[in-house]
Structure formats: structure tokens, C-alpha cells
Amino acid sequence: MNKHLGKQTIRFDNPPVIIATSSIVGPREGEGPLATYFDTIIEDELYGENTWEKAESKLIEKALDKVIEKANKTIDDVKYIVSGDLLNQLSASTFGIRNFKIPFLGVYGACSTMAESLSIAAIIVEGGFADYVIACTSSHFCCAEKQFRSPLELGGQRPLTSTWTVTGSGAIFLAESGEGPKITYVTTGKIVDFNIKDAMNMGAVMAPAAADTIINHFIDTERDENYYDLIITGDLGKVGKDLVLEILKQYNYDISSKYMDCGIEIYEPDKQDTHSGGSGCGCGAVTLAGYIFSEIGKGKWKKVLFVATGAMLSQVSLQQGESIPGIAHAVAIEN
């Protein structure tokens, strides 16, 4: 039981190693400030398929192919794929990994899914249950708008609090040993519900969950903001980022000098019409797999706390007047 710290955190005595990552993104992400960090930029949202959903599955398939190649492994080396996405019934993951014939654990944490899949993958590896596990996730702007909001063809105006779902998939190849940054801690979030019902303001929904997980990570690990070089949330956007800083200040943590949000980094909101920033499981996934992993490799950061955030809404729960619960999972990555 010494691996479990405090209320929500696991410490890995033999930290799993990220030996490779891959990222594939859509055209808009490919025009953004992180473009050079991504392995592949697709030319249009359909990616040669006849539906957006099939395109999203293909993103996952290609991300998996790429990460196995970059890890210098074969499909047979991989013991588990832990993957999830925003589509109903995880269909992007299911169809994307169908041809791999690898044991599959489907997970769902809304946009927090990259940190959830990475946490479970790390638990499997560190527990000695497998040597190689891939954690993966995806999102797709067109699929998400269609499923959660309104038909794209409607062309409705979006409020400035809204975020833009990233089209992309990121995959992380975890190994029990090897070269690369290590996953040293995971802090699993609990549902945090501040009774917000505005599905066009996900930053406000998820910020309290992000703050809760960061605070509990600090308490459980006896660390604070001074320990990390970078604390980065998944997809809070501008609205949510400001709220996280404000909530944390009430608890006497000032993370402002080392705090970033993947949703803010991935686009240039003013030029790219993405309002509060990027969102979706793909946002945190490709930013982690592309930008963060690369810069850790170059030595820019050594100690990173990756905190992916999710809004656990469904169309039906919203229509039935329910609030939107948030959740956030944190993964400490250290080199």
C-alpha cells in the first residue's frame, strides 16, 4: 500500500518510460503555432474517408502505426492498447484499433481521456502486468460539433467562451524500461460539479476539477508549484485557465509563472477564430505527444505535470436539465 499516497495519488517506484509518442492532426491544427511538432498533418477533415467518424478512426489507426514504428517495435510487442474518444460508444477507438488484434481497454473521461488512458497504462506497466502498453486518444472537430452541439451546416454563432475541438490523435508508447521521460505519479480525479449548465463554456465547467486535482496532487505528493517546470492543463482555454489560477490562489498556490494550457498553445485564437482555445481529448493528446514530449527531450522542461480535464456531459443529460460534471486526471512526467 505504500504506492498509494494520500487520497488520490499513486507513486511509481519503477516509473514507466515514455519511449515514443506520435501525433496526427487536422488542417487547422497544422496551421497553428505547434505545427512543426506534429508527425502528420492531414489535408482535410475527411482524410480520404466518406464520413468524419471514419476519418477519426483513421487518425487513431495512423497514430498507433506511427508510435509503434517510432518505438522500433512491432504490433506483437504491444500487450494492451488503452484508448478512448468522445464519440458515442468510443467508436473512433473501436474501429481505429480493430485491425491491430491487441487486447483493448476502452476508457472514457471526456477530454481528460489522455491522462486516464496514460494512468491506466502506467499502472499496468509498473505493476509488472505488461512490458509495452500504448495509451491513445482522439477527437475530431466535425464529429464533436455534430454529436454534442449542432450540425456544422447550421453555421451558428459560437460565444467567446466556447472552445474549438481539436482534430487529432495522440499515442504514447509506455515501456517498463528504456530511454525517455518517466511517469512518476498519477493523481486520479473525482467528479467535481459546480452546477454549471452552459455547454458553451467548458472552461468554467472543468476549471474547478482541474484545480481540485492539482491541489490534491500537491497535498498527496507533498510537492507544490515550485517543484514543477511546467503545469499544463488539457483544454481549459482562456476562460478556464484564468479560473484555475483564481481558485488555486484561494488555496495559496500561485502556479501562474509555470502554467500553460494545451488549448491555448495549439491555436492562435485571434487569427484562427477559435475563441477561448482548443478542446477535445485530441487537444491534450497531440500537445503532449508532440510539443511537450519534444521539448522535454530538448531539455526545456524536466518536471511536467500534465492535467487533462473532462466535461462529462451528454446531449441527453443537458436536455434533461442536468448540470455538467467535470473531472481532471494528473500525470507527472519527469526526465
**Alpha-carbon torsion 77, 11, 205, 161, what sign?**
negative
Q: Which three cell numbers stand for residue 89?
A: 460508444
Q: Where do we find the cell 494512468?
A: 119
User: Least Å distance between CB 108 and a second copy?
Assistant: 4
Q: What residues from 135 to 164 belong to the interface with a second copy (CB under 8 A)? A: 147
Q: How far apart are CA 71 and CA 76, in angstroms?
A: 13
Single out the residue of 98, 138, 137 nearest to residue 116, CA to CA: 137
Q: Total residues contacting a second copy (rule CB under 8 A)?
A: 62
Site map 299..318 versus a second copy, x via CB under 8 A: -------------xxxxxx-
User: Least Å distance between CB 126 and a second copy?
Assistant: 7
Residues 6+ apart with CB under 8 A from 14: 126, 176
For a second copy, give the closer residue by CB, 103 or 156. Answer: 103
For a second copy, give the closer residue by CB, 106 or 178. Answer: 106
Q: What radius of gyration do the chain's Cα atoms show?
A: 18
Going by their DSSP bridges, the two strands 168-175 and 17-25 should be labelled as antiparallel
- Residue 255's alpha-carbon distances to 205, 227, 264, in angstroms, are 20, 10, 16
Among 191, 197, 268, 302, binds a second copy (CB under 8 A): 191
* Residue 157, number of CB atoms within 10 A of its CB: 5
Site map 224..263 versus a second copy, x via CB under 8 A: ----------------------------------------
Residue 51 is a binding residue for a second copy (CB under 8 A): yes
Note the residues at the interface with a second copy (CB under 8 A). Answer: 1-4, 7-8, 10, 51, 53-54, 79-80, 84, 86-91, 94-95, 97-98, 100-110, 116, 119-120, 123-124, 126-131, 147, 176, 188-191, 193, 312-317, 320, 322, 325, 327
